[in-house]
Chain A
Amino acid sequence: MKLPNVLLLAVGTALFILPVSLGLLGTWLPALGYLPGMSDGLSSQPLLAVLAHPSTWTSVKLSVSSALFVTVCSLVFSQWLCMNLYHRRIWPLLKHSIAPLLAIPHLAFAIGLVFLISPSGWLMRLLSPGITGFDIPPDWLIVNDNYALSLSIGLFLKETPFLLLMSLAAMSRFDHGKTLQIAATLKYSHRQAWRKLIFPQMYAQLRLPLFAVLSYSLSVVDVSTVLGPNTPATFAVLIHQWFNHTDISYRLLGAVGASMLLLIVVGLIAVFYAAELVVKKTTQNWLVAGPKISPKSSGFEVVLAKLSLTIMIAVTLLCIAALAVWSFSRLWRFPDALPTLWSVEYWQKSWQQLLEPLQNTAIIGVSSALIAVFICVLVLEWQSKRSQLPRGGWWIWVIYLPILVPQVSFLFGIQVLMVRFHLEGTLASVIWVHILFVFPYAYLTLAQVYLQFDARYLQQGAILCQSKWRAFVYIKIPMLFKPLAFSGAIAFAVSVAQYLPTLYVGAGRVNTVTLESVVLAGGSDSRISAVFALWQFILPLVVYIAALVIPQFVYRNRRGL
């Protein structure tokens, strides 16, 4: 009985800790000047080259400032929305808008945002020439601006729903409703109670997701290529450019940059921890200073919160709408609000280009999602058998590891190893690397429901079926079908969205819709770019809908499920 448990733990380690560590090592050694076949001895040359490179510091500054902006703003904004909209009539809208907002892939959203806000974008077309007086698009740098503002805003709009989802999950971990009632009877206003009681209890659950947002915004490459600055690019993109430089000696620079980026992430996480400690220390007295008879709130802030939520949802919908309009347009001259000629030509054209990437995306997505959910069930089943669940602490960090470590910081190392053992460029290896990033999300969506499953059902089942295994298959799995399907859908969506892992491990031979979208986003034809971005959105959407509809159909006569 003991042996399989240890084995499972070992498999987990081998699946996640080992690849990440090997990848990191395979990046650190070249950073120190050791890359077999290129340079053998340790040297500080690459490090010095990176430090002396004219783009390095501007890039780092851009990345750090935009990542901090995104992390802090999406945290503050999501908490502010929760505080002001909780139990208002708009609250269900907030709850229900999160999943669709999250379902839109970052990249498709970014491309849609470009079509919306760029100088020749939809907004400008709607305002021109009537309000702006422009007959040709103005020569403004709105997207790809030098301060990474459009990148920051794009990421902020995408990360806020994620933190909202995490906040709702955190709120479900304690009785927030009764806590607010108690606070009210102790004469606290809703806002005071939220700040002093609800947020401090939520933050412990929000910490890791917040770090994930931080790491993601620091290290994102695909969205940054579309929305971010070019001269120079953000640091992650610069590293990516070094890795792919025609002069292969630049790979050493890339390795140094990748290691620096990891240090920056670790450093900023340390800063967040320190800030948390300082805030805890300085608010100690304020927390227990007693209720203040506050003047009745004017409700202005609530109105503002409602408006902000509406705008956030509207902008996201407009991005998708912009993609849709472009994809069906044939001729769309600048100040016109809508195309003058419509056509499905580009959708038809996309089929010829799309068949292979579409197939690849589907195969990789479905396989990695199925395998990831399967491993999740194994791990969770093992966890649910223990009385002492390794829930918090080190275990959750292991799960989060592939999300917290910037992809660009260890994918190069994995690529080097794969090339060395001739494993690169196959579907199987791409599926393997996707599992690494897909698993954490599958696990995090499934864990709570799975571990809360009432073991008595299983005991009853085991008694009736005379077999634990059959009880598991006929009782537990069907009862958990809904969350399992949802977790699989999330996993599929995460897989579809992967850019760097596919690129580095696929070695250019495994093309997916996402890779194609990035290439086309840099091209000159908006119409084909819009079609591909929409495909990137449609694939996960179809799977999400299937994951919602199929269980509902199967259990249409079962209200208890």
Chain B
Amino acid sequence: MLAQDKKIFTLNKLQLYHREQALFPPVSVQLQAGELLVVMGPSGCGKSSLLAAIAGTLAPELSISGSICLAGQSLQALPIERRGIGLQYQHDLLFPHLDVGGNLLFAVPRGANQQRQNAVAQALISADLAGFAQRDVATLSGGQRARVSLLRTLLAKPKLLLLDEPFSRLDADLRQDFRSFVFEQIAAMSIPALLVSHDPQDCPANHYYALAEGKMMTLEKL
């Protein structure tokens, strides 16, 4: 029983339809805290739509069946802002009218000012960006932007992290860097995470969920 309780995120027979046509076979997966699931599949198989369905940003022309549960609560009826989900796109979407500190502070829940500032400072240190709070986001490098963006997502204390090809815009060496940064942060936060990708290197373990086939698969070592 105890093991069952740890599975805090479950998808049960989840399917999406466009005009009665299913995009992919039913998805049933369970994740526990700190666990990362990589979802792969050819482009156009509905990877991003799967994330959108979980986050609550699904396009109105798509319909949904099955269930999405996070921490014992069904998400379907909830608006985005009450789902407790962190969303990370390939584009960092830093807000250009706020500085680095402002972008991070924006995500920190309300509370004592000092505490909020500390949370931001801590986050910056964890990303080797100490002292960057006053910087204009336009002056950051690609890798720095990506890290700030992820910090912003995590500072809102999400209960589940969704990553939509977060590495695809970075070039090869930055990608490796940022990838390990993301995995560290997920482990440190101890939350489940779902990562959508088409790059086998994004799998920290050797297995991934193949969306088009509808099952877990193991990477074949070359």
Residues on A facing B (Cβ under 8 Å): 174-175, 178-179, 181-182, 184-189, 196-197, 200-201, 287-292
Is A185 within 8 A of B110, CB to CB? no
The 4 tightest CB contacts between A and B, nearest first, are: A184-B80, A288-B105, A290-B110, A185-B87
Is A201 within 8 A of B111, CB to CB? no
Evaluate whether A185 and B91 lie within 8 angstroms (CB atoms) in the complex, with A288-B102, A290-B116, A291-B109 already known. no
Task: Give the residues in chain A near B81, CB-CB below 8 Å.
Answer: 184-189, 291
Is A201 within 8 A of B95, CB to CB? yes
Does residue B156 face the partner (Cβ distance < 8 Å to A)? yes
User: How distant is B145 from chain A, measured CB to nearest CB, in Å?
Assistant: 14
Is B96 within 8 A of A184, CB to CB? no
Instruction: Tell me the bound Cα distance from A201 to B93 in angstroms.
Output: 12
Instruction: Tell me the bound Cα distance from A175 to B93 in angstroms.
Output: 8
Task: Give the residues in chain B near A188, CB-CB below 8 Å.
Answer: 81
CB neighbors of A among B42-94 (8 A)? 55-57, 79-83, 85-87, 89, 91, 93
User: In the complex, given contacts A184-B57, A184-B79, A185-B86, what are 6 additional A-B residue pairs having Cβ atoms less than 8 angstroms apart?
Assistant: A179-B95, A290-B105, A290-B110, A290-B111, A290-B116, A291-B110
Task: Give the residues in chain B near A289, CB-CB below 8 Å.
Answer: 110
Query: Which residue on A lies nearest to B158, using beta carbons?
Result: A185
Instruction: Tell me the bound Cα distance from A178 to B55 in angstroms.
Output: 12
Is B89 within 8 A of A178, CB to CB? yes
Is B106 within 8 A of A290, CB to CB? yes
Is A201 within 8 A of B96, CB to CB? yes
Query: Which residue on B lies nearest to A199, using beta carbons?
Result: B97
Instruction: Tell me the bound Cα distance from A201 to B98 in angstroms.
Output: 10
Task: Give the residues in chain B near A291, CB-CB below 8 Å.
Answer: 81, 109-110, 156
Task: Give the residues in chain B near A185, CB-CB below 8 Å.
Answer: 55, 80-81, 83, 85-87, 153, 156, 158
A-B contact pairs, 7 of them (CB 8 A): A178-B89, A185-B55, A186-B81, A288-B98, A290-B105, A290-B108, A291-B110
User: How distant is A276 from chain B, measured CB to nearest CB, in Å?
Assistant: 12
User: How distant is A160 from chain B, measured CB to nearest CB, in Å?
Assistant: 25
Task: Give the residues in chain B near A287, CB-CB below 8 Å.
Answer: 98, 102, 106
Task: Give the residues in chain A near B110, CB-CB below 8 Å.
Answer: 289-292
Task: Give the residues in chain B near A201, CB-CB below 8 Å.
Answer: 95-97
Evaluate whether A181 and B57 lie within 8 angstroms (CB atoms) in the complex, with A186-B156, A200-B97 already known. yes
Task: Give the residues in chain A near B82, CB-CB below 8 Å.
Answer: 187
Task: Give the residues in chain A near B109, CB-CB below 8 Å.
Answer: 187, 290-291
Instruction: Tell me the bound Cα distance from A196 to B108 in angstroms.
Output: 15
Is A197 within 8 A of B86, CB to CB? no
Task: Give the residues in chain B near A175, CB-CB below 8 Å.
Answer: 91, 93
Instruction: Tell me the bound Cα distance from A186 to B95 in angstroms.
Output: 13
Does residue B216 face the partner (Cβ distance < 8 Å to A)? no
Contact with A along B162-202 (1 / 0, CB 8 A): 00000000000000000000000000000000000000000
Is B80 within 8 A of A197, CB to CB? no
Instruction: Tell me the bound Cα distance from A197 to B94 in angstroms.
Output: 10
User: How distant is B95 from chain A, measured CB to nearest CB, in Å?
Assistant: 6
Task: Give the residues in chain A near B158, CB-CB below 8 Å.
Answer: 185
User: How distant is A324 from chain B, measured CB to nearest CB, in Å?
Assistant: 39
Instruction: Tell me the bound Cα distance from A188 to B108 in angstroms.
Output: 11
Is B111 within 8 A of A181, CB to CB? no
Does residue B107 face the partner (Cβ distance < 8 Å to A)? yes
Task: Give the residues in chain B near A197, CB-CB below 8 Å.
Answer: 95
Query: Which residue on A lies nearest to B120, using beta carbons?
Result: A288
Contact with A along B197-220 (1 / 0, CB 8 A): 000000000000000000000000
Task: Give the residues in chain B near A179, CB-CB below 8 Å.
Answer: 93, 95
Instruction: Tell me the bound Cα distance from A178 to B87 in angstroms.
Output: 10
Query: Which residue on B lies nearest to A294, using beta carbons?
Result: B81
Query: Which residue on B lies nearest to A292, using beta carbons?
Result: B110
Instruction: Tell me the bound Cα distance from A179 to B94 in angstroms.
Output: 9
Among candidates A174, A178, A189, A288, residue contacting B106 with C-beta atoms closer than 8 Å: A288
User: How distant is A297 from chain B, measured CB to nearest CB, in Å?
Assistant: 11
Evaluate whether A178 and B80 lie within 8 angstroms (CB atoms) in the complex, with A185-B156, A185-B158 already known. no
Instruction: Tell me the bound Cα distance from A151 to B158 in angstroms.
Output: 52
Is B156 within 8 A of A178, CB to CB? no
Instruction: Tell me the bound Cα distance from A288 to B184 in angstroms.
Output: 27
Task: Give the residues in chain A near B57, CB-CB below 8 Å.
Answer: 181, 184
Query: Which residue on A lies nearest to B107, using beta carbons?
Result: A186
Instruction: Tell me the bound Cα distance from A185 to B80 in angstroms.
Output: 6
Which has the most chain A C-beta neighbours within 10 Å: B57, B79, B81, B96? B81
Query: Which residue on A lies nearest to B60, using beta carbons?
Result: A87
Among candidates B56, B93, B96, residue contacting A182 with C-beta atoms closer than 8 Å: B93
Task: Give the residues in chain A near B80, CB-CB below 8 Å.
Answer: 181, 184-185
Task: Give the residues in chain A near B56, CB-CB below 8 Å.
Answer: 184
Among candidates A181, A196, A292, residue contacting B87 with C-beta atoms closer than 8 Å: A181
Is B93 within 8 A of A178, CB to CB? yes
Task: Give the residues in chain A near B87, CB-CB below 8 Å.
Answer: 181-182, 185
User: How distant is B97 from chain A, measured CB to nearest CB, in Å?
Assistant: 4
Task: Give the residues in chain B near A182, CB-CB below 8 Å.
Answer: 87, 89, 93, 153
Task: Give the residues in chain A near B156, CB-CB below 8 Å.
Answer: 185-187, 291
Evaluate whether A186 and B106 lie within 8 angstroms (CB atoms) in the complex, with A181-B80, A290-B116 already known. yes
User: How distant is A190 from chain B, measured CB to nearest CB, in Å?
Assistant: 9
Contact with A along B96-127 (1 / 0, CB 8 A): 11100110011111110000100000000000
Task: Give the residues in chain B near A288, CB-CB below 8 Å.
Answer: 98, 101-102, 105-106
Instruction: Tell me the bound Cα distance from A245 to B147 in angstroms.
Output: 69
Query: Which residue on B lies nearest to A190, using beta carbons?
Result: B81
Which has the most chain B C-beta neighbours within 10 Å: A175, A182, A184, A188? A182
Instruction: Tell me the bound Cα distance from A181 to B86 in angstroms.
Output: 10
Instruction: Tell me the bound Cα distance from A30 to B110 in angstroms.
Output: 62
Task: Give the residues in chain B near A292, CB-CB below 8 Å.
Answer: 110
User: How distant is B150 from chain A, measured CB to nearest CB, in Å?
Assistant: 12
Instruction: Tell me the bound Cα distance from A185 to B79 in angstroms.
Output: 9
Task: Give the residues in chain A near B85, CB-CB below 8 Å.
Answer: 185
Query: Which residue on A lies nearest to B162, using beta carbons?
Result: A185
User: How distant is A172 from chain B, measured CB to nearest CB, in Å?
Assistant: 16
Task: Give the residues in chain A near B97, CB-CB below 8 Å.
Answer: 200-201
User: How distant is B89 from chain A, measured CB to nearest CB, in Å?
Assistant: 6
Instruction: Tell me the bound Cα distance from A187 to B109 in angstroms.
Output: 9
